[in-house]
Amino acid sequence: MMQNMFRTGFLVRATHTLLTWVITLILFLHNTDLRKCEERGELLLPVLFFLLVVLSVLLYFAVSLMDPGFVLADSVKGSNEEMESMIPQSSTPRLRRCGHCLLQQPMRAKHCQTCKHCVRRFDHHCPWIENCVGERNHRWFIVYLLVQLLALLWALHIALSGISPSITWALWIRVNGFLLAALAVVGIFSVVAVMLLGIHLYLVSINCTTWEFMSRHRIAYLKNCGDEENPFDRGVFCNMWDFFCICRTVAWEQTYDRNTPNSV
């Protein structure tokens, strides 16, 4: 798993980490609330902010390097007759083999062209973490987004506190140049984090993935359902509870069969 860090995602991860610590250093060195607290000997807020940044970086690498739920072997072993007898064919679409890795694809799995694997409960391939978001790391991806957003909003407040007035615009830009650059970067990432967190929390609340939401008309087990019908939706509370509190591999074929009206 660790070797993933040194493949295609190394540059993205290194850039993210470097940018995080450069901005943190700018906030500590300029005349911001953090610097003022340090000068007064009040170290609680600087330490808490530093620990929050460290936590966000650790979560970033955890989600980035984690197995998202790669399908490495056939999900159902045995003959085709055994597979068909286990899963009722009257209401559940037939299981299919992936045309790329030639493995039996569980329901809600999709092959990722970038990762070269099928991923269970595939959500999307995230270029930010250079990894897929799937059944095993999706909840941690949302936790990371929440922690990252808290760190970004706090950094935004700190950067604003360090902006100093000047006599002329040229002098003002020269004095606050680094803080303004940090503000721009933090502001952009804050907007992205808010949008991603909001979208993913909504999708989790209805037990839907980004891939299913965007490509519903092309997915065999969804294209024949009604526009507002989701065979995996068990209600907001149950969806949230299952997603955040229950860590297990789910046989989505059974859930689909229970919640889809029999076509016969």
Pairing between β-strand 131-133 and β-strand 104-105 as defined by DSSP bridges: unpaired
The pLDDT-based confidence of 156 (bands split at 50, 70, 90) is very high
- Tell me, what's the pLDDT at 16? 94
CA dihedral in degrees (94, 212, 74, 92; nearest 10)?
Answer: -20
- What percent of the chain is predicted at pLDDT more than 90? 56
- What percent of the chain is predicted at pLDDT more than 70? 87
pLDDT digits over 100-113, tens only? 788 888 899 999 99
- Tell me, what's the pLDDT at 264? 35
More confident residue, 155 or 83: 155
More confident residue, 78 or 21: 21
User: What is 38-100 written as a DSSP string?
Assistant: HHTT--HHHHHHHHHHHHHHHHHHHHHHS---B--S-SS-S-HHHHHHHS-TTTSPPPEE-TT
- Tell me, what's the pLDDT at 92? 59
Mean pLDDT of the chain: 86
Q: What are phi and psi of 204, to 5 degrees?
A: -65, -40
CA distance 58 to 73: 30
Residues annotated as catalytic are 126
- Tell me, what's the pLDDT at 75? 56
Q: Which range has highest mean pLDDT (23-37, 92-106, 141-155, 213-227)?
A: 141-155
- Tell me, what's the pLDDT at 3? 45
